[in-house]
Structure 1
Amino acid sequence: MVVVVMGVAGTGKTTVGPLVAEALGVPYAEGDDFHPPANIAKMSAGTPLDDDDRAPWLDAIGDWARGRADGGGVVSCSALKRAYRDRLRAAAPGLVFLHLTGDRELIAGRMAARKGHFMTTRLLDSQFATLEPLGADEAGIAVDVAPEAAVIAERAVAALRRL
């Protein structure tokens, strides 16, 4: 199974993703590492990415996921829109999505507390505005991010194993 840990900025994709990968015994890839430098500069300046900015990033993540189809893996990627998830699935059919969900205030507080990340809280509203939750026809699960990371990962792995 290849799992995409998705959700708005600050939900804990980078924290929960490696925990899920470890529990499943598969490699983890940090989605932010697939961004070209221009995207990071744009987000660091507080400017939301548009679909044209995201296309090469999504394609790079899709390539990684396709390469892991036989052995499994976990990758973080906001995957906020259905169209983005469709693009990822076109590159790597069979992807499963783990949607980390949470209250805006909780997430904003977590974002404000982290240091040295290019994604600022100024972009959180645009992330929530863009978010299209998983459709009933999309393979995946949603897990609330209110508990600590270990509990979130535990719940996610249990739910993923039931798919």
Structure 2
Amino acid sequence: MSPETVAALFATCLLAGFAGAIAAYAAPATRSRLIAAAPPIAAAVAIAATAGSLYFSEHVGFVPCKLCWYQRIAMYPMAIILPLAVLLRDRLVMRYALALAGIGLAISAYHIQVQWFPERSNSCSFDDPCSAKWVEAFGVFTIPQMAAMAFTLIGLLSVAVIVDQSRRGKQPPTALG
């Protein structure tokens, strides 16, 4: 598959994920099903984002810039902890996922700004520029934009679970027991 096809596939999945999550959360009848499915969905998003980044760098040969590496630092742990949390039925991990997603989203937002306004950035190198647009799915979505969508989707799913836990009075255990 070509990089453009893979990027279009990822962008389509992310857009469908957003639409589905928003529609399911907005309807009270399906909200509880979304909250129950949020950890596995977040895990799937993290795994797909990790696989996508590895596809682009290892298979296609796109060299990740410094900002891409920082985004990977935020995403890759979620591809491990979220599936483990699903297996162990540990919904408290969504708090950690929210923190990592927030950090990754901030880096992605800056990376998008660098792509839009490369002259304003000092984080790029000549031989590995952060402003490079390797792909543009549907003529719009670059890799940092798709990463931002993945971080946002994971963050929204995490918030839904955390809010549900607090409404039900389920507080995480403290360090003292």
- Shorter-chain TM-score tier: under 0.3
Query: Under a length normalisation based on structure 1, what TM-score does the superposition of the two structures give?
Result: 0.28
* Bigger RCO of structures 1 and 2 (CA < 8 A, at least 6 apart): 1
Query: Under a length normalisation based on structure 2, what TM-score does the superposition of the two structures give?
Result: 0.26
Relative to its length, the structure with more helix (as a share) is 2
Relative to its length, the structure with more strand (as a share) is 1
The structure having more radius of gyration, on CA atoms, is 2
